[in-house]
Amino acid sequence: MKKIIALYRRGDTGKTETLNYVIEILNTITTGNLIPLVPNHTDRQATFVFNGLTVSVCTAGDNAAEIKQNEAYFNNQKCDIAITASRSRGESVDAINAMANSNGVGIQWVRKLVRPHNVYHLNVSDAHQIISWIY
């Protein structure tokens, strides 16, 4: 693992949907299959080879148990870039810091944008920002 990208904010702000957009965009880029960007509220995990890097995305991350499951997935996939959701503070942040320390890598914290309207556009914008941090 070379870097962790953590999308953080309080609960119910669209972190899962945003990371699902990251998965959809990476899938389209790496396979050429066009998938419409529709909101997906289901937690999932996916791995891609993107720009010569193995990139793994886990949409869950609201607590330490989920972060530990994500870390096991990241290690199993031998990813270069690990992307996860996180809360703004507390046990998920502590677990991500511990993961970074145990792997000797840095963390790129990405604050989830939140507004009452145009949520779709904010989530897609955040997804593109996250993808820009992969390089």
Paired sense of beta strands 53-58 and 45-50, if any: antiparallel
Provide the pLDDT for residue 30: 93
pLDDT of 37 > 70? The answer is no
pLDDT of 38 > 90? The answer is no
Question: Cα–Cα distance between 46 and 59 in angstroms, integer?
Answer: 9
What does R_g of the chain's alpha carbons equal in angstroms? 14
For 32, counting Cβ atoms within 10 Å of its Cβ (0-12 exposed, 13-18 middle, 19+ buried), the class is: exposed
Question: Cα–Cα distance between 68 and 70 in angstroms, integer?
Answer: 5
CB 107 within 8 A of CB 130: no
Residues 92-126: pLDDT tens digits?
Answer: 999 999 999 999 999 999 999 888 777 888 999 99
